[in-house]
């Protein structure tokens, strides 16, 4: 989730910020030491890229990070978890699963909700009715957007920075919607979607390659 001309909290200011609602490279599954090291190196590469490209980086906890923290009986928080990458500056972390963004008079809840449903936008629509604000949720990786039932608030399911074909569980037969890679730019309270095409080139969502 990239935001232009805004920053978390009820303030205005920085030129460009990136908010990572669900960092996927460090997962909370018990894995062999070698695999854990590889995940840390991949996370370090991603973190290095985004901290170089963006002035402000904010990372909140997702379900994978929670699994890792629970596995360590709460002795490792988000700051300590990301320190495993050996990159300790250029970003801020929180143990919360959400951030509130104030953008030109509108409130946006950027979150990784515990709930997951196979009906697209179902969770974020319920959250909009409960929180009375615009909602961008992670977890389902369905990369879809719309409006809440009242037509007042914008809602969106985030995509992800991943290769869908590389996700083992995504190849299992189920009724779950197909996961989609992609991310949103929030500019002047407008959500603009970007996703890779079949060649891996990132384009505006719906843009037809020349």
- Asked if 25 and 92 sit in the same domain, the reply is yes
pLDDT band (50, 70, 90) for residue 176: confident
Q: Are residues 78 and 125 in the same domain?
A: no
Listed residues 81, 96, 111: the one ending a domain: 96
DSSP 8-state secondary structure symbol assigned to residue 199: T
Return the closest-CA partner of residue 72 out of 22, 23, 36: 36
Of the three residues 33, 62, 96, the one that is the final residue of a domain is 96
41 and 60 belong to one structural domain: yes
- List, for residues 102-130, the tens digit of each pLDDT value: 988 999 999 999 888 989 999 999 999 99
Cα–Cα distances (Å) from 148 to 38, 194, 206, in that order, read 40, 22, 22
Answer for the pair 117, 129: CB distance below 8 angstroms, yes or no: no
When divided into structural domains, the chain yields a total of: 2
Burial 48-63 (b: 16+ CB within 10 A, else e): eebbeebebbbbbbbb
Question: What would the pLDDT profile of 28-75 be if each residue is shown by its tens digit?
Answer: 444 444 556 677 788 888 888 888 888 888 888 887 788 878 888 878
Of the candidates 52, 64, 54, the one whose C-alpha atom is nearest the C-alpha of residue 2 is 54
Phi, psi values for residue 123, rounded to 5°: -65, -45
Residue 83 lies in domain = 14-96
């Amino acid at each position: 989730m990239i935001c232009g001309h805004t920053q978390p909290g009820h303030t205005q200011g920085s030129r460009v910020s990136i908010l990572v609602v669900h960092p996927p490279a460090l997962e909370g599954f018990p894995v062999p030491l070698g695999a854990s090291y590889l995940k840390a190196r991949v996370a370090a590469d991603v973190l290095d890229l985004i901290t170089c490209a963006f002035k402000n980086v904010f990372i909140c906890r997702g379900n994978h990070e929670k699994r890792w923290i629970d596995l360590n009986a709460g002795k490792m928080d988000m700051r300590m978890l990301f320190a495993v990458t050996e990159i300790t500056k250029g970003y801020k972390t929180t143990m919360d699963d959400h951030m509130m963004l104030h953008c030109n008079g509108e409130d946006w809840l950027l979150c990784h909700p515990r709930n997951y449903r196979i009906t697209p936008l179902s969770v974020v629509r319920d959250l909009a009715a409960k929180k009375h604000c615009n909602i961008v949720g992670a977890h389902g990786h369905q990369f879809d957007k719309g409006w809440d039932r009242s037509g007042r608030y914008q809602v969106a399911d985030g995509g992800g920075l991943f290769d869908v074909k590389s996700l083992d569980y995504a190849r299992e037969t189920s009724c779950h919607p197909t996961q989609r890679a992609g991310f949103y730019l929030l500019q002047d309270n407008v959500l603009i979607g970007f996703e890779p095409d079949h060649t891996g080139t990132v384009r505006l969502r719906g843009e037809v390659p020349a």
